[in-house]
Structure 1
Amino acid sequence: MNDQALGTICDYLKPKMFKENAQVVEAGQPLNTMLYIIAGSMQAYLPIRAAGEACPSTSFEILEKGMLVGEQLLDWAAKTKTFYDQPVSFKTVRCAEKVEAFALTINDLKTLVVSKDIFQRSSKSEV
């Protein structure tokens, strides 16, 4: 992705605040937003199934300043042809503390791909 495409994406970013313990993404649910963390931290974990119920894993990944949540949306947007095959999250993400982030919604990403051509495609008919 070139600098112009990154600049165009930045124009669509919106500030977002999350409270401590807020659930940001649930495993198995569609990803609607990509987040760039600018302050605070989150925990991402794979749920464990015990007796048919999902329970938090005891091992988790810490996501902090400068890291992304939902970055697979960029890869999906670059490859999708229909936008009907929205990816789902494999992890549950919760805020370990108050978090400030910049958000790029899936609808904004669709708009960027269709109208701004942030990804190289051979023709507009592919989207």
Structure 2
Amino acid sequence: MNDSELRTICDYLKPKVFEENAKVVEVGQPLNAMLYIIAGSMQAYLPIRDAREAHPLTSFKTLKKGMFVGEQLLEWAAKTKTFDDQPISFKTVRCCKKVEAFALTVDDLKTLVLSRKIFLMKSKGDV
């Protein structure tokens, strides 16, 4: 991604506020937006599958200022041909504290790609 594309994406970012304990995304659900955290913190819970365990294990990761949630949407938007195959979340993310973030929605990504404002290197037929 070049600087021009990055600036274009920044024009589409929208401020979003999540209250403490709010669930941002749940494992198995479609990712609707990519978030860039500017204040507060979130906890990401990643289920770990182990056939030997009766109960699933969970890995935890704290997400803080300067970190992303849903960044895989950029790779998906660059590669998808139809936008019908929206990726799902492999983790559950919940706010530890009130969180302020900038959001880039799936619809905005679709608009940017289809208008050829980002990911200009390849046409959708070449991907």
**What residue number does 1:111 align with?**
111
Q: How does 1:9-28 map to 2 (within 5 A)?
A: 9-28=9-28
TM-score, structure 1 as length reference? 0.87
- Kindly indicate whether residue 26 of structure 2 is the aligned counterpart of residue 33 of structure 1: no
TM-score by length of 2: 0.87
Matches within 5 A, 1:82-121: 82-121=82-121
Q: How many residues are paired up?
A: 122
What amino acid does structure 2 have at the position aligned with 1:43? Q
What is the RMSD of the two structures over their aligned residues, measured on CA atoms?
A: 2.1
Give how far 1:117 is off.
Answer: 3.3
**Alignment partners' CA distance in 2, 1:35 and 1:56:** 26
Distance 1:81 1:124, change over 3 A: closer
% same residue:
75
User: What code does the residue aligned with 1:7 have?
Assistant: R
CA distance in 2, matches of 1:122, 1:6: 17
CA distance in structure 1 between the aligned counterparts of 2:85 and 2:124, rounded to whole angstroms: 18
Residue 8 of structure 2 aligns with which residue?
8
Deviation at 1:35, TM superposition (A): 0.2
Gaps of 5+ in 1: none
Which moves more between the two structures, 114-123 or 93-102? Answer: 114-123
**CA–CA separation in structure 2 for the residues paired with 1:4 and 1:75:** 17
